[in-house]
Amino acid sequence: MSDIRGLIIQSRLDYVENHRDTQIYQQLLHKLDEPVRNAIGEQVFITNLYSFHVLKDLDSALGEVTQMPLENLFREIGERSAPLLLDRYFYNYIQNQDPHGFLAQIGRLYDQLCHFGRYSYVKTGKQEADITFDYDEDIHKSYCWFIQTLLKKGVEVCGGKSVSLKEKLCLAEDGEACRYHLTWKS
Residues 11-63: tens digit of each pLDDT: 999 999 887 677 888 899 999 999 999 988 778 999 999 999 999 999 999 99
How much of the chain, in percent, has pLDDT values that exceed 90?
75
In the predicted structure, residue 1 carries a pLDDT above the cut 70: no
Residue 182, φ and ψ in degrees, nearest 5: -110, 135
Mean pLDDT score, 141-170:
97
Half-sphere exposure of 120 (CA within 13 A, CB side): 9
**Measured distance CA(175)–CA(95) in Å, rounded:** 36
Q: Cα dist. 128→131, 148, 179 in Å?
A: 10, 15, 14
**Measured distance CA(44)–CA(50) in Å, rounded:** 9
Where residue 117 falls among pLDDT bands split at 50, 70, 90? Answer: very high
Q: Do 62 and 70 touch, CB atoms closer than 8 A?
A: no
**Measured distance CA(178)–CA(50) in Å, rounded:** 22
Poorest-pLDDT segment among 1-5, 95-99, 125-129: 1-5
**Better-predicted residue by pLDDT, 153 or 43:** 153
Residue 8, φ and ψ in degrees, nearest 5: -75, -40
Where residue 123 falls among pLDDT bands split at 50, 70, 90? Answer: very high
In the predicted structure, residue 83 carries a pLDDT above the cut 90: no
In the predicted structure, residue 121 carries a pLDDT above the cut 80: yes
**Measured distance CA(37)–CA(25) in Å, rounded:** 11
